[in-house]
Structure 1
Amino acid sequence: MELTESLRQRAERLHLHGLLSHWNELSDSLWVEPLLSWEESERAQRSLERRLSSAHIGRFRPLADFDWNWPEQCDQIAISELMTLEFLQKCRQCHSGGGPAAWGNPPSPRTLPIRLSFRGHTVLFTTAGQLLGDLAALDSDSALRRRLRHYASPQLVGH
């Protein structure tokens, strides 16, 4: 009974109303649990793909491919601490600035946004010039308000 209730709660979270309306007929079927697992997995994958696409991160070199022996001024401990994402507990929205020089020439300024996206956070990777150009091109107050909400909604805005 406990397993059936757990499956029903998963179906409710997924908003599978057709399945829920016939729950008494189908709850004992062997295919219900795999169906819910497939749906959860597919939705998680599509959510990640959407977040990565809307982040505008572009190409980057993964942290695993970085040569920590060069350059010497790269602070591996600081970058490792940053990648734990603990700073998110202290802020609603964070802004990262600058390219490799501002980051102490790390593996890639895109590594942090990618990691955030994989953890389920929203990210927008843009330059100040792109942001200002985008805002300047708007021709109405309502469009400007919508666009400002767009730039204020991600949990990390980086450039």
Structure 2
Amino acid sequence: MGMTTDRLITSGIPAATDPLRTPLARLKLSYVFEHFESLAQPAGAEQWPHVEYLARLIEGAAHRREDRSIQRRVGLARFPVLKTLDQFDWGWPKKINQPQIQNLFRLRFIEDKANVIFIANVGLGKSHLSTTLGHTACLRGYPVLFTTAVDIITHSLRRRRMATSSANCTSISSRACS
């Protein structure tokens, strides 16, 4: 035959790629599965070393995985709307400590296991800053859940009612069994 399997792969000949399809699908390497043939053509034409061809495939797969991971975290965070820090109106409110807010975006408070709570009147940018800060955390690999004080209180009251209801049911059933 004269050509090695490596030569066939980098030259993009379909017959050589057939043995790769099943294992790539089984390993769930979707990016590699979708791109190994199209990337093999320039690799063969430009005579890339095998390591460069493989490195480009792996780099593409890693980027896709990271992008999907970010999308998943952002989706699970339940942000009402995504905004950027550049869109924030630093002129209103006038007493906002811009350097302090910008420092939060270093996310050291997460590493320190500290909390951040924005307290202000309606319409002063609490949700804007919260979603932007949360989105930044998602981009850097942290899981986030956006919520409001009203949602936290509602959830807490609901849990308290359920616990009270459950305790009442237990009390009733224990009296019925006596």
Residues 88 and 125 in structure 2, CA contact (< 8 A), matched pair in contact too = no
Q: Find the counterpart in structure 1 of residue 134 from structure 2.
A: 113
CA positional deviation for 1:80: 1.0
Larger-gyration structure (1/2): 2
**Secondary structure of 2:79's partner?**
coil
Residues 60 and 108 in structure 1, CA contact (< 8 A), matched pair in contact too = no
Structure number having the greater strand percentage? 1
Q: Find the counterpart in structure 2 of residue 56 from structure 1.
A: 78
CA positional deviation for 1:37: 0.9
CA positional deviation for 1:110: 1.2
Cα distance in structure 1, aligned partners of 2:86 and 2:93 = 16
Residues 79 and 131 in structure 2, CA contact (< 8 A), matched pair in contact too = yes
Cα distance in structure 1, aligned partners of 2:118 and 2:101 = 15
For these two proteins, the number of residue pairs brought into alignment is 115
Cα distance in structure 2, aligned partners of 1:31 and 1:53 = 33
Distance 1:79 1:98, change over 3 A: closer
Distance 1:38 1:128, change over 3 A: same
Distance 1:89 1:35, change over 3 A: same
**Secondary structure of 2:66's partner?**
helix
Moved more, 45-54 or 128-137: 128-137
- The unaligned stretches of length 5 or more in structure 1 are 1-15, 20-26, 142-159
**Secondary structure of 1:123's partner?**
coil
Please tell me the residue identity of whatever aligns with 1:65. Q
CA positional deviation for 1:29: 6.0
2:66 paired with 1:66: no
2:65 paired with 1:36: no
Q: Find the counterpart in structure 2 of residue 155 from structure 1.
A: none
CA positional deviation for 1:72: 0.4
Residues 99 and 109 in structure 1, CA contact (< 8 A), matched pair in contact too = no
Listed one character per residue, the Cα deviations across residues 67-100 of structure 1 (whole Å, up to 9, x for unaligned) are 2122202110110111111122211xx5444565
What TM-score, normalized by structure 2, do the two folds share?
0.51
Cα distance in structure 2, aligned partners of 1:89 and 1:137 = 34
Cα distance in structure 2, aligned partners of 1:64 and 1:46 = 25
Distance 1:97 1:30, change over 3 A: closer
- The unaligned stretches of length 5 or more in structure 2 are 1-26, 33-48, 167-178
Cα distance in structure 2, aligned partners of 1:44 and 1:63 = 22
**Secondary structure of 2:145's partner?**
strand
Q: Find the counterpart in structure 1 of residue 21 from structure 2.
A: none
Structure 1 residue ranges (4+ consecutive) displaced by more than 4 angstroms after TM superposition: 16-19, 104-107, 133-139
Q: Find the counterpart in structure 1 of residue 152 from structure 2.
A: 128
Q: Find the counterpart in structure 2 of residue 156 from structure 1.
A: none
Cα distance in structure 1, aligned partners of 2:154 and 2:132 = 20
What TM-score, normalized by structure 1, do the two folds share?
0.57
